[in-house]
Amino acid sequence: MSTENRDSAGRVVVVLDAGTTEGYRTARALLADGCRVVATDRHAAALVRILHDQSADRLLLLAADDSQRNLVLAKAKARFGRVDSVIRPAALPLVLSA
């Protein structure tokens, strides 16, 4: 019996600030639910722990900050074909410029 959430399985979710404690928990929970996850943080080293026991075909780690959102979305779409959601855990402010 699969433990994956049928509504989440296969969804592509970008998790911003995934190197933080909340970001890590969010990314791991999404992976456990069957999502494909693009985890971003300004510091690549902060993302490494997300890799533990995870399938590389469902996870993309990117060192990027908010100013690189177009690059993140482009790489996510190139790898997984689409992006279904973008999440910033712990309701940290997201600043988007026009």
Residue 73 lies in a domain: yes
Residue 1 lies in a domain: no
Looking at residue 53, what is its pLDDT? 80
d(CA 10, CA 5): 10
Residues near 58 by beta carbon (within 8 Å), at least 6 away in sequence: 31, 35, 36, 37
**For residues 73 and 81, is the Cβ–Cβ distance under 8 A?**
no
Domain interval for residue 54: 12-91
Looking at residue 55, what is its pLDDT? 82
Looking at residue 89, what is its pLDDT? 87
Looking at residue 54, what is its pLDDT? 84
What are the φ and ψ backbone dihedral angles of 82, each rounded to 5 degrees? -170, 170
Residue 26 lies in a domain: yes
Residue 85 lies in a domain: yes
16: CATH? 3.40.50.720
Q: What's this model's pTM, rounded to 2 decimal places?
A: 0.83
Residue 4 lies in a domain: no
Total number of domains constituting the chain: 1
* Mean per-residue pLDDT pooled into runs of 10, the chain (98 residues): 58 95 94 96 92 87 93 98 92 54
